[in-house]
Amino acid sequence: MTVHYHRGDLPSDVNLGALVAIDTETLGLSLTRDKLCVVQLSSGDGDAHIVQLDRSSYDCPNLKTLLADPGTEKILHFARFDVAMIKTYLGVTLAPVFCTKIASKLSRTYTDRHGLKDVTRELVGADMNKQQQSSDWGADTLSQAQLDYAASDVLHLHELRAKLTSMLEREGRMEMAKACFDFLPTRADLDLAGWPETDIFAHS
Ligand code: MN
C-alpha cells in the first residue's frame, strides 16, 4: 500500500479509472459549522491519494472534475454526509454514487451494525483502526498516522461494493438500492436547506 499525499489538488497525471473509492475528513460533523479538510481517493489497487484542501480557496479543478464526472462511479460509506460537504465546499454534485452503508442496510437485514468498521470486519475480514478518527484534520501538515488512517477508509470500499452488490442481487434489492443512491443529492440538499433530522416522507 502506498499513500500519496497531495496539497491543494489531485495532480493531473493521476488516473483512477471508472470506479473510485472516496471519503472525506472534516473539522467535525456539522454541515454548517465544520469545514471540509481532506478528500481521500483510491482506484482499488491498494494505493490511496490524500488531497489536503486549501480551506481559503478550495481551488482544486482536477479533483472537482473527477467528483462531478458522470462517467466515474464513486463508492462511499454514508455518502449522504460527503455529498453535502462536497456540494457546500467544492460546489459540485457528487454523482453517480454507490453507498456501502445504504447497500448494507438493504441487504444485511440480520444485523443493525452498519458502521464501516463492522461491515468491513464481516465482509472483508479486515480490522480497521479508528484511533485517528477525531484528530485535527485542519492541521497545516497531516501526520503519518493521519495519512494512514485517512487511506484506510478508502482501501476496502471496492471489495465491499462487490460483496454488497452480490447480496443485493441475491435479495432482489439492487434496483431499490440504485433508486436510493440516485436520491442522495436531494437528501443532501434537504440536510443543507434545514431538514437534517426530518424524514420528508413521514406522516408527521
Ligand atoms: Mn474517514
Tens-binned pLDDT, residue by residue, of the chain (204 aa): 899 999 999 999 999 999 999 999 999 999 989 999 999 999 999 999 999 999 999 999 999 999 999 999 999 999 999 999 999 999 999 999 999 999 999 999 999 999 999 999 999 999 998 777 789 999 999 999 999 999 999 999 999 999 999 999 999 999 999 999 999 999 999 999 999 989 999 998
Domains delineated in the chain: 2-193 (3.30.420.10)
> Would you state the pLDDT for residue 204?
86
> Would you state the pLDDT for residue 115?
97
Q: Cα(153) to centroid of ligand 1, in Å? A: 5
Q: Cα(25) to centroid of ligand 1, in Å? A: 6
Q: Cα(32) to centroid of ligand 1, in Å? A: 19
125-128's contacts with Cβ under 8 Å and 24+ in sequence apart are 126/156, 128/152, 128/153, 128/156
> Would you state the pLDDT for residue 130?
78
Cα(52)–Cα(58) distance, integer angstroms: 10
Q: Cα(19) to centroid of ligand 1, in Å? A: 18
> Would you state the pLDDT for residue 167?
98
Written as nine digits, the cell of 61 is 479543478
> Would you state the pLDDT for residue 104?
98
Q: List all residues 6 or more positions away from 180 whose beta carbon is below 8 Å from its beta carbon.
A: 99, 102, 106
Q: Cα(21) to centroid of ligand 1, in Å? A: 11
Q: Cα(170) to centroid of ligand 1, in Å? A: 29
Annotate 126-163 with b (16+ C-beta within 10 A) or e (fewer): eebeeebeeeebbeeebeeebbbbbbbbbbbbbbbbeb
Q: Cα(202) to centroid of ligand 1, in Å? A: 30
> Would you state the pLDDT for residue 155?
97
pTM of the model: 0.96
